[in-house]
Structure 1
Amino acid sequence: MIARTAILVKSEYPRRCIRISPGINRQSHTRESEKCYKSAAVASDCAQCSTVGKHILLEDGNAVDAAIASLLCLGLTDPQSMGLGGGFLMTLFNASTGKSTVIDARETAPAKVADDLFGKNQKMSSRGPLDIGVPGEIKGYWYAHQKYGRLPWAKLFEPAIKMARYGFPVPFGLHRAIEDGEELLCTEPSLKEIFFNKETEKLFRQNEIMHRPQLGETLEIIASEGMENFATGTLMKNMMADLEDIGAIVSKQDLLDYQVLEKKPIETTLDGSLRVLCPPPPSCGVVLSFILNILDGFLLNPNDLASPEARIHMYHRTIEAFKFAYAKRSSLGDEDFVDVKELVANLTSKTYADRMRQLITDNTTHEFPYYSPSFYSPQTSGTSHLSVLDQDGNAVSATSSINWRFGCGLRGRRTGIIWNDHLNDFTAPYTVNKFGLQPNGANFIQPGKRPLSDMSPAIVVGPGNNGSPQVRLVIGAAGATVITCALAWVIAQNISLGKNIKEAIDSYRFYHQLLPPSVTCEEGFDEAVIRGLKLKGHVTSILKRTLSVIQAIDVRDGWIFAESDFRKGGSPDGF
């Protein structure tokens, strides 16, 4: 069980805090104040699912209980990004012991895969049933609950079952995904069945009521049967029938053999007294740690935002840190299959970060070979993130994914599950990219192997009033390959640059993944900074769509501040 220890809080709301009713959906910069709470908070990219988590906490559930219930809800409201057909990474912090852990429920490659399964293509495959990895989502929920949950298992499923059966309003994020995925949703029968509104004879739009009856039945089965008799239960029978119907290579033995892993988090220090906790490889949490280590040595402070010249200087250094970090990302893979110990040790080392920082020249950027990339790795795709802090100070940071929008583009007719396409996250072995880089052998496909993932659910802890560790920040992101630079920028603003969590998340973002060799800035980004970056040799481009979405909970001065990214229309909740 996660322990129960109280968070010290004040008795009045601080000046910049505003109480807002649950369910308000923000799609633009309209709210000037942060949302804050006295005891607990849940931040997801759907207001309804944040409220589900809040109610679980009010019913004496803990952070793990709330996370599972909210993730089940998100499987309905965010089916383009996550669900039972995918997998997740979860970072946990126990307030009473001060200990942390990571639950790895990422997908694995089926036993029948071979490195030449998809031929000599640069992508592992085109979208379809051969992309499906062995899903870990359900077993991951079960593992987390059995070891760390408090409420009865079936209790956590009640909100999602009711939503699936009686309907729920289509949220902004799903509405936008349906618009963007119109061609797929209108041509694939298994998806059209659920995303086509028979009353309007059009694809579902925002706030129209959607039902998911088959998925609701599957949730009822999981709630009642659990996973103890998975091998002979109804869930296994239905999953295998669905997978066989669509031509997947995932077998019954793959589902039985799948193991949820519990790991020690990657840890680095920040700003003197803070510890940043995130998952080890095949997560890119170590890339996030490396960026933060480089930036930490620059001693960032609010003065770095005080003038155009200071901002240009700071943004340039940050972009260079991104580039060095993404060069190292290209050598990562599943630590249970490849030896990445030395690389991880370097990327979490302050000394190594010092050496890389000395290579950053303040007057100019450089061509990509300067950053010494070894290989290239594929671009990953969308996810959904959830942050939870309970009334006892325990925290969960969880990121879940089915990879590309609507996964492999196929839904099981019996289970209602939309299946992942995470085999596309492996690196194809036979190609050299246009920059002359060889493929990342550490991320080649093997049976049972987990693909490289940019998901980096993080928790930042610092010394509490009584000297024991206490949560400072619970944070994570959706956004595929740009997750780590988006997180690093928001964390740096909140920890070092004097911005509250709403200001940090709302601020215009910029990305650099080393390749392609360009700084991508959100539309509206500071024009003076862009001009200054160009003078230092940076190539820039303007982004008119959302690349990353961040959910975070910030604990300051005895208050809990929660923020869901306006870019996906989410909203936090708490009490």
Structure 2
Amino acid sequence: MSARRPRTRALAVLSAVAVGAGVVVASSASAAGPTDPSAGVGPPERGKQDEQWVAEGRGGAVSSVDSDATAVGIEVLRNGGNATDAAVATAAALGVTEPYSAGIGGGGFFVHYDAASGKVETIDGRETAPAAMPQDAFIDPETGETYTFFPDMVTSGASVGVPGTPATWQAALDSWGSRSLADTLEPAATLAEDGFEVDETFRRMTANNQERFAAISSTAELFLPGGEPPAVGSTFRNPALADTYRLMAREGMDGFYQGALAEEIADTVQNPPAVEGTDLPVPPGEMTTEDIAEYAVNTPEPTSHEYRGYEIYGMAPPSSGGHTSAETLNILEQFDVPSMSEADAMHHYLEASALAYADRAAYSGDTDFVDMPLDELLSDEFAAERACEVDPNRAADKPVASGDADGDYSTPCDGATGPRADRPNSEGPSTTHLSVTDRWGNVVSYTLTIEQTGGSGITVPDRGFILNNELTDFSHVYDETDPNRIEGGKRPRSSMTPTIVFEDGEPWLAVGSPGGSTIITTVTQTMLNRMDLGMDLPSAVAAPRAYQHNSAEVTAEPGFVDAYGDELTSFGHELSETSSIGVVAAIELLPGGRAQAVAEPERHGGGSAAVVSPTRRW
């Protein structure tokens, strides 16, 4: 490759785009995206303002949303563990301190670069629909209408997919780890047993979900002690989760996917422990012990494409993140974005995003069930066709049509359109992401989730973890032409976008974010900031964001509106403000074996970045 790393702007830009623009959040829900009805109002502080969000040094690095989890990962690296060991240990710790975003009741996507072989490989640990899931799972039998998404649809056994996170951890350790599952889980088990200090964001997220948590007896018992959210400054302990981690440590995957725990998960889904008299319907699901026992991760080839000399690897379907981010960038590659003004660059970014999201809606789904033109969506030829739809001076009316991904480009810019592209999206906004590298040059980019903030709201009794509501990522009304239609045994489409970028054949950047369908634009905009707009990585992460998913309005942070609103409005964009979009955790590999870990400075109250041996103080 012949990539040239762009010049970088001074970190002082942060005062303008992050602090001065007021990029603050009400909770991890609002931080993750604008579509979460449970998001709080106002900008609570996480209590992490003195935490380090940029770290540079040698020996390995970890970036995540939480300081306790990052510390666990760094300790694993310091004691000789590799990137996979540290990633699993960090993820397990996030299951303790961020139980409303991730945990063993959910799933995710793991992207790994192996320095010894030079290969990028992936693990698809996405949750799977029970074999007997009905096509009308989200239709209220009393009214014939779809359930209200929040809180009714998400708070249900019907929304729970077979968890994939435990199997992901075991598969990653088997493939690339140097430690046992027991070794990697013990720090998190100890953290769950000893507890962590409750901060304002944890309390606020609990309060935002109080109605539905109170409707489930097992959840209320754990997360609403005395009937109220835990007080800020109190210590939150979860000994049941510690016991569950140690069960998995002793018995491996059989301890989760078979036996007593699997029976309890299936029973909890089929018979949610709803409190008598609750106003929530809490419909049951169809999951059986057979569904749980048959779960297996997939290991698809990563998506890959080149962008201005960089080589970018991501997740294949059922993640739509890899191909939708790739298509957005491939469309932008048809234009000289680095020479544009920032407002012009943002206009092109928003228009390219709308086109890519149109194609996502039209084509993307679980490729074990649908025939998807993935190679076309990743191709430069298809991107060139789609770029014909971008007017440099005017925003297109939304929604735009999907492209015709038939592989025929003999008539350039023919305007041919593809399948329906305006299906509604209600993907939950929560999730978490971590990035890790080690002293040997291995790299992990890992996004994991339980979907909604608080998942299904259903805690497996006496086991300490909340089950996901991932099946709400399916289209709620069945349409046989929809690639994301409900089908038993299928994995719903996801927006998770764990990504590794290479420069000159070497890993350069690991990046990802939570945020539901905003994940794709968050990751894409961060890469665009770094690769095209001359920002260093801390500035690229802190810069204000906007989200265009083929809708009439662009959802944007206040700082984005302040910086570009007047010019973008003159192009015809309609901007709608939200407090915050995405929560990036990234690492840039630097010359001389160094790494720069970067977390959020303020979103979600600020993330946590660390290195084993610092060489520069921030």
For Structure 1 versus Structure 2, the TM-score category normalised by the shorter chain is: 0.7 to 0.9
Root-mean-square deviation over aligned CA pairs: 2.4
Corresponding residue for 2:519? 483
Counterpart contact for 1:454–1:483, Cα < 8 Å? yes
- State the one-letter code of the partner of 1:427: S
Corresponding residue for 2:251? 225
Mapped to 1, the partners of 2:562 and 2:263 lie a distance apart of 58
Q: How many angstroms does 1:182 deviate by?
A: 3.1
Please, which of 175, 180, 202 is the counterpart of residue 174 of structure 1? 202
Corresponding residue for 1:297? 334
Please, which of 611, 614, 617 is the counterpart of residue 574 of structure 1? 611
The structure-2 alpha-carbon separation of the partners of 1:80 and 1:55, relative to structure 1 and needing over 3 Å to count, comes to: same
Mapped to 1, the partners of 2:77 and 2:480 lie a distance apart of 46
Mapping of 1:258-273 within 5 angstroms? 258-272=295-309
Counterpart contact for 1:52–1:69, Cα < 8 Å? yes
Secondary structure at the residue paired with 2:136? coil
Secondary structure at the residue paired with 2:483? helix
1:319 matched to 2:319? The reply is no
Counterpart contact for 1:45–1:551, Cα < 8 Å? yes
The structure-2 alpha-carbon separation of the partners of 1:31 and 1:242, relative to structure 1 and needing over 3 Å to count, comes to: closer
- State the one-letter code of the partner of 2:117: T
Q: How many angstroms does 1:34 deviate by?
A: 3.6
Secondary structure at the residue paired with 2:65? coil
Secondary structure at the residue paired with 1:43? strand
Please, which of 311, 318, 324 is the counterpart of residue 275 of structure 1? 311
Please, which of 423, 430, 434 is the counterpart of residue 376 of structure 1? 423
Please, which of 308, 333, 338 is the counterpart of residue 370 of structure 2? 338
The structure-2 alpha-carbon separation of the partners of 1:429 and 1:244, relative to structure 1 and needing over 3 Å to count, comes to: closer
1:107 matched to 2:141? The reply is no
The structure-2 alpha-carbon separation of the partners of 1:29 and 1:231, relative to structure 1 and needing over 3 Å to count, comes to: closer
Mapping of 1:59-70 within 5 angstroms? 59-70=79-90
Q: Deviations over 1:501-558 (max 9, x none)?
A: 111111111111112x1111101335352111111111111112x3311110012333
Secondary structure at the residue paired with 1:475? strand
Q: How many angstroms does 1:248 deviate by?
A: 3.6
Q: How many angstroms does 1:278 deviate by?
A: 0.5
The structure-2 alpha-carbon separation of the partners of 1:220 and 1:394, relative to structure 1 and needing over 3 Å to count, comes to: same
Mapped to 1, the partners of 2:208 and 2:288 lie a distance apart of 32
Counterpart contact for 2:51–2:67, Cα < 8 Å? no
Mapping of 1:24-173 within 5 angstroms? 34-119=54-139, 121-122=145-146, 126=153, 127-171=155-199, 173=201
Counterpart contact for 1:115–1:445, Cα < 8 Å? yes
Mapped to 2, the partners of 1:263 and 1:256 lie a distance apart of 21
- State the one-letter code of the partner of 1:523: P
Q: How many angstroms does 1:112 deviate by?
A: 1.4
Counterpart contact for 2:82–2:178, Cα < 8 Å? yes
**Which 10-residue stretch deviates more, 164-173 or 381-390?**
164-173
Mapped to 2, the partners of 1:538 and 1:28 lie a distance apart of 35
Q: Deviations over 1:464-523 (max 9, x none)?
A: xxxxx32100011100011111111100111221211111111111111112x1111101
Q: Normalising by structure 1, what TM-score?
A: 0.87
Corresponding residue for 1:537? 572
Secondary structure at the residue paired with 1:269? strand
Percent identity among equivalent residues?
30
Mapped to 1, the partners of 2:211 and 2:477 lie a distance apart of 31
Please, which of 370, 383, 386 is the counterpart of residue 356 of structure 1? 386
**Which 10-residue stretch deviates more, 492-501 or 220-229?**
220-229
Q: Specify every segment of 5 or more residues in structure 1 that has no aligned partner in the other structure, as ranges.
A: 1-14, 18-24, 305-309, 431-437, 464-468
Corresponding residue for 1:402? 450
Counterpart contact for 2:159–2:469, Cα < 8 Å? yes
The structure-2 alpha-carbon separation of the partners of 1:57 and 1:241, relative to structure 1 and needing over 3 Å to count, comes to: same
Mapped to 1, the partners of 2:557 and 2:292 lie a distance apart of 41
Q: How many angstroms does 1:263 deviate by?
A: 1.0
